[in-house]
Structure 1
Amino acid sequence: MKISLLQYAPQLNNLQANLDAISALMAPSDSDLYVLPELSNSGYNFIDRQNAFDNSESIEDSIYIQRLMALAKNKNAHIVSGFCERDNDKLYNSSVLINSEGVAGLYRKLHLFLNEKDYFEPGNKGLPVFDTPIGKIGMLICFDWMFPEAWRTLALKGAQIIAHPSNLVLPYCQGVTPSYALVNRCYTATANRIGTEGDLTFTGQSVLSDINGKVVIKGSKDESQLLSAEIDISLADSKYVTARNHVFEDRRNDVYGDLNIGTND
């Protein structure tokens, strides 16, 4: 399959400009999966909760999602995008998995970063994995990267690729996610934004890593880019790092316990 990471600067308070930027970046490509940054519909650095609310949309009547559905249909593709989600009077920092028919998956960010705690509710959808025609896809968002349990949980649930929409400002994540890909023997796809909003400057360097922890593609620090690569997602089905070492079966749960892996509900 072919995967593309979109790296650009979503604009605060300007949904149309964000849709135009996404459409322009995707136009020359023919990927099976596109991964976009965190809060791609809204921008990130809100001045207050009302500002965040004004930039949010509900899943059911979202102009942004309708446009991404049209792009997915035109490209015969799946799209993972960060999304400022309104659910009645609550806001969530969410990620949506979109195909031509609508939203095929929804994840709400578990680990809120800095001022996000003033605007968003903590995620309440758990860590689902979505079985699609192109593979089994899990989703995390930005600061979720700090918690290895999240990556391992998705991998144990069968995720072949973990899409990771991000608005990173710290300099660490892009160096860490290849290690998560290696220890879980799955692909990791971090789509980070660029630019500056208020007092925040984002670090770009979107990165795709393979099951051996190799960086397949990596973006610049400050340029809008479409970053694409061909991957064999079926390689993530094998958890053997040697002929006699299986990264899940060799775990010593009798010593350090096990993660409580439930269903995707």
Structure 2
Amino acid sequence: MRTTRVAAVAAPFGRDLDECFARIERLVALARARGVQLLALPEASLGGYRAPDADEPPALDPDGPELRRLAAIAGDMVLCAGYYERADEGVRYNSAVCVTGDGVLGRHRQAHQPGAFDTPVGRIGLMICYDKASPDAARALAADGAAIGVCLSAWPASRANASPDLGRDRWTRQFDLFDQARAVENQLLWLSANQSGRFGDLRFVASAKVVDPGGDVLATTGVAAGAAVADVDVAEAVDLARRAVSARYASSSRREAQMV
């Protein structure tokens, strides 16, 4: 039995990179003190969210000093974070990266179908925010051998018929439903990080969580900032969930055959 301690964060991140790094250092230090081995930070945790009514976030070189600094902060921890990527010819991407102190383990651009990659805590696939609304994106990760899905979000509350109570907001409910659905239908350990607080006229729903491969929420921050932490034997949890699905499918197939 090999248990891994994982955590997903709900926290606010703005335009000031020094402030972002200071917050990341605090979050990583707190997680390390709790023995966390895999930590998921929100979308746009380096430079803030690219909101339509706000200035552009800083566009970062995917091989530049900021990501090297992120890797140095990670040390022996597997750390996932989102940023605004500067690519060739002025192209920009909403991107996510997974690092340790040894460097980059994997990347994802929101414009691309995600893929999985190996890490010290298992095979991981990255997704960004509304990627989770697409069943095909998470399915691609499972088909590529991922045991862990990590989705980094800047998911706001509804701006139409908004509820004053974030816990009753319909976009909060959608966020939570997508997390559980993507976990259970692909039998993945699912980490969901999200921005919290406000940015411009956006109010983020937080709701960071860890969902097991059977769809049960193991830990959540609710609609507040914080870290959802859980201990999971990833290989065992994924194997049990997938064997249960296979058994149900086999039983259903036998019943259908008997009816013919």
Q: CA deviation at 1:46?
A: 4.0
Letter in 2 for 1:43: G
- Unpaired runs of 5+ residues, structure 1, are 110-122, 251-265
Q: Counterpart of 2:73 in 1: which secondary structure? A: helix
Q: CA deviation at 1:237?
A: 3.6
Q: Residue 124 of structure 2 corresponds to which residue in structure 1?
A: 137
Q: Which moved more, 1:181-190 or 1:237-246?
A: 237-246
Q: CA deviation at 1:195?
A: 1.0
Equivalent pair of 2:28/2:74 in contact (CA under 8 Å) = no
Q: Counterpart of 2:155 in 1: which secondary structure? A: coil
Q: Residue 163 of structure 1 corresponds to which residue in structure 2?
A: 150
Equivalent pair of 2:7/2:210 in contact (CA under 8 Å) = no
**Cα distance in structure 2, aligned partners of 1:186 and 1:7:** 21
Match of 1:182 among 176, 181, 184: 184
Q: CA deviation at 1:45?
A: 4.1
Match of 2:16 among 14, 17, 40: 14
TM-score, length-scaled by structure 1: 0.80
Q: Residue 105 of structure 1 corresponds to which residue in structure 2?
A: 106
Equivalent pair of 1:5/1:228 in contact (CA under 8 Å) = yes
The number of equivalent residue pairs is 227
Higher helix fraction: Structure 1 or Structure 2? 2
**Cα distance in structure 2, aligned partners of 1:187 and 1:20:** 29
Match of 1:2 among 1, 5, 12: 5
Q: CA deviation at 1:148?
A: 0.7
Q: CA deviation at 1:241?
A: 1.7
| Residues 47-97 of structure 1: CA deviation (Å, up to 9, x unaligned) | 679x42x5111112132x122211221xx1111111111113111000101
**CA RMSD in angstroms, aligned pairs only:** 2.0
**Correspondence list, 1:214-229, <5 A:** 214-223=216-225, 225-229=226-230
Equivalent pair of 2:153/2:195 in contact (CA under 8 Å) = yes
Counting aligned pairs with the same residue, the percent is: 27
**Cα distance in structure 2, aligned partners of 1:139 and 1:45:** 19
| Residues 188-243 of structure 1: CA deviation (Å, up to 9, x unaligned) | 111011111111110011111001110011113133x1221111110214512257
Q: Residue 85 of structure 2 corresponds to which residue in structure 1?
A: 85
Q: CA deviation at 1:138?
A: 0.3
Letter in 2 for 1:80: C
Q: CA deviation at 1:164?
A: 0.3
In 2 relative to 1, CA 220–243 (structure 1 residues): closer, same or farther, beyond 3 Å? closer
Letter in 2 for 1:34: L
Q: Residue 40 of structure 1 corresponds to which residue in structure 2?
A: 45
User: Whose radius of gyration is greater, 1 or 2?
Assistant: 2
Q: Counterpart of 2:92 in 1: which secondary structure? A: strand
**Cα distance in structure 2, aligned partners of 1:25 and 1:97:** 16
**Correspondence list, 1:244-255, <5 A:** 244-245=247-248
In 2 relative to 1, CA 242–90 (structure 1 residues): closer, same or farther, beyond 3 Å? closer
Q: Residue 200 of structure 2 corresponds to which residue in structure 1?
A: 198
Q: Counterpart of 1:82 in 2: which secondary structure? A: strand
| Residues 11-57 of structure 1: CA deviation (Å, up to 9, x unaligned) | 1x2011111111112213231111000011011144679x42x5111
- Unpaired runs of 5+ residues, structure 2, are 157-170, 254-260
**Cα distance in structure 2, aligned partners of 1:42 and 1:93:** 11
**Cα distance in structure 1, aligned partners of 2:106 and 2:223:** 30
Letter in 2 for 1:14: D
Equivalent pair of 1:174/1:206 in contact (CA under 8 Å) = no
TM-score, length-scaled by structure 2: 0.81
